[in-house]
Structure 1
Amino acid sequence: MCGKKIDGRKIADKKEKILKKKIDKLEKPPNLHTIFAGEDEGSKVYLGVKNRGCKRVGIETETHQYDEDVEKEVLIDKIHDLNRDDEVDGILVQMPLPGDIDGKKLIQEIDPIKDVEGLHPKNLGKLMIGEEEMIPCTPKGILTMFDYEDIQLKGKEICIVSHSTIVGKPMSITLLNRDATVHVVHEFTDDMEQYTNKAEVLISAAGVP
């Protein structure tokens, strides 16, 4: 069966233009505050991409950077300060964090309203019952591509190659909310091809080609 690969970059460019027009009409531009700890090179690259993307559409960014040996309590205190600040619109904790700091625990400290990644347990819980107020970023982007290409998901057999908290799990929930038949496979799945080959839609987010 010959498949179709969706050009996400082209769709993103169009969405950026629409978003910029909306932001330009606001009295005050929204802002995003990022907690960044350590020296992970991959995280630095991602942070730069994210900040440049925000700049293109008119979102102000501020990075709160900490050394590799920062204590977890220092990061939590900063998150609480940002939660209380009415001038702060969105908060993001850049992963991975150094040492044995548990990123999931830090995300739980973010005010769910300011959780731009949609990974706070309250936001994920709402997703489970079909209240999609804050869909995690990658699943939201994938749904946007489906909408743009007018791909009907109801009844479709869809395979997701990922069971991560940031992609695979929330992606499966959003698809179930749209009445798709969902198969989730990962590195421990036996005979993965039996699922990927029969899928009408394949979503791969395994981090490898």
Structure 2
Amino acid sequence: MQADIIDGRALARQVLAEVAEGAKMLDRPPGLAVIIAGDDPASHVYVRTKVKRAEELGFLTEKIQLPADCGEARVLEEVAKLNARDEIDGILVQLPLPADINTLRVMAAVDPAKDVDGLHALNAGRLTQGSGGLIPCTPLGCMKIIKSVIPDLTGSHAVVIGSSNIVGKPMAALLLEEHATVTQCHIHTRDTKFVCRGADIIVSAVGKPGLVNADWIKPRAVVIDVGTTRVPKADGSGYTLKGDVDFDEAVKVAGAITPVPGGVGPMTIACLMENTLTAAKMRKEAKENEWPVLS
């Protein structure tokens, strides 16, 4: 029996509709600013899509384009300006940054109350404590997808393949918060295939096309494919997107699975919009009550 193919675009539309309704309750549109440095083609595609979604929702939207040789000081200067602007609720620094820029230093410079990527150390710490804050968009989107299939994760065995600060680590923390038993695999894990075969849920986020084969998957498991790697077409006519999962084979075993594209990607952008609204609401409430936004 073939797995249910999870429609990330449909779920994203639901999230965006909720964001649109929530934004109407504010006294001004939420504000989102995106900083992009360099000429990475994929980054420009992602930024255009993010800006377009924000504009469709009526957000105040601003894109700051910097050259690849702008240097770290220039990026930090732009971040500081956006931190100081009251009409900007969310700041997104598009990754990857040019190699000469320290990504962690830039992320640390973003006001954690405006950190809609959820990558500031304060937000990461609040996530591990289960005490709120802004959650990284891709793990948040993955969790919404998983819960659309399994509303109660209590006691489920979840395997996360990948341990990055952007997806792997926060994904594991979110699953733990939902009372799943979590195993995190990475490049040094021995026999990842064996670990995955006992999982009710697999989330793969390593960027290695075809890594997860059908024989890695427990029958009827939920498989979330975060991988999006650009692979040249055989005829040389361009690129195609490939996930970490061998979809054609995995769909014959899994209970539910996300496609690439059309799975996690749309939910990541929808959750960015949700985070921007959340940041705007938190900042509004803090201002009205004269308390710190995050503490």
Answer yes or no: same fold by TM over 0.5.
yes
CA distance in 2, matches of 1:161, 1:16: 28
Amino acid in structure 1 at the alignment position of 2:77: D
Contact 1:32-1:90 within 8 A present in 2 as well: yes
Amino acid in structure 1 at the alignment position of 2:142: I
CA gap 1:5/1:196 in 2 versus in 1, 3 angstroms: farther
Aligned match of 1:137: 137
Q: Which has the larger radius of gyration?
A: 2
Structure 1 length-normalised TM: 0.92
State the Cα distance separating 1:147 from its structure 2 match: 3.2
Question: What is the SS of the residue equivalent to 1:20?
Answer: helix
CA gap 1:154/1:3 in 2 versus in 1, 3 angstroms: farther
Aligned match of 1:28: 28
Aligned match of 2:55: 55
Aligned match of 1:98: 98
Equivalenced residue count is 209
State the Cα distance separating 1:79 from its structure 2 match: 0.9
Aligned match of 2:76: 76
Contact 1:90-1:114 within 8 A present in 2 as well: yes
CA gap 1:5/1:202 in 2 versus in 1, 3 angstroms: farther
Which of 2-11 and 23-32 deviates more?
2-11
Question: What is the SS of the residue equivalent to 1:131?
Answer: coil
CA distance in 2, matches of 1:74, 1:182: 40
Amino acid in structure 1 at the alignment position of 2:38: G
Contact 2:185-2:192 within 8 A present in 1 as well: yes
Quick check: 1:115 aligned with 2:134? no
State the Cα distance separating 1:204 from its structure 2 match: 1.7
Which of 53-62 and 38-47 deviates more?
53-62
State the Cα distance separating 1:13 from its structure 2 match: 1.2
CA distance in 2, matches of 1:10, 1:198: 29
Bigger RCO (CA 8 Å, 6+ sep): 2
State the Cα distance separating 1:174 from its structure 2 match: 1.3
Runs of 4+ in 1 over 4 A off after TM superposition: 1-5
Contact 2:30-2:87 within 8 A present in 1 as well: no
Question: What is the SS of the residue equivalent to 1:184?
Answer: strand
CA distance in 2, matches of 1:205, 1:57: 29
Aligned match of 2:155: 155
Which of 160-169 and 15-24 deviates more?
15-24
State the Cα distance separating 1:150 from its structure 2 match: 4.3
Structure 1: runs of 5 or more not aligned: none
Q: Deviations over 1:161-183 (max 9, x none)?
A: 22111100001011112221111
CA distance in 2, matches of 1:3, 1:200: 14
Q: Deviations over 1:44-72 (max 9, x none)?
A: 01111111221222223211111111121
Structure 2: runs of 5 or more not aligned: 210-242, 244-295
Q: Deviations over 1:134-191 (max 9, x none)?
A: 1110111112223333431111100112211110000101111222111111333221
Quick check: 1:67 aligned with 2:67? yes
Which of 37-46 and 188-197 deviates more?
188-197
Contact 2:71-2:100 within 8 A present in 1 as well: no
Contact 1:69-1:99 within 8 A present in 2 as well: no
Aligned match of 1:37: 37
CA gap 1:202/1:3 in 2 versus in 1, 3 angstroms: farther
CA distance in 1, matches of 2:198, 2:10: 28
Amino acid in structure 2 at the alignment position of 1:6: I
Structure 2 length-normalised TM: 0.67
Contact 1:24-1:58 within 8 A present in 2 as well: no
State the Cα distance separating 1:41 from its structure 2 match: 0.7
CA distance in 2, matches of 1:70, 1:47: 18
Quick check: 1:191 aligned with 2:191? yes
Contact 1:167-1:205 within 8 A present in 2 as well: yes
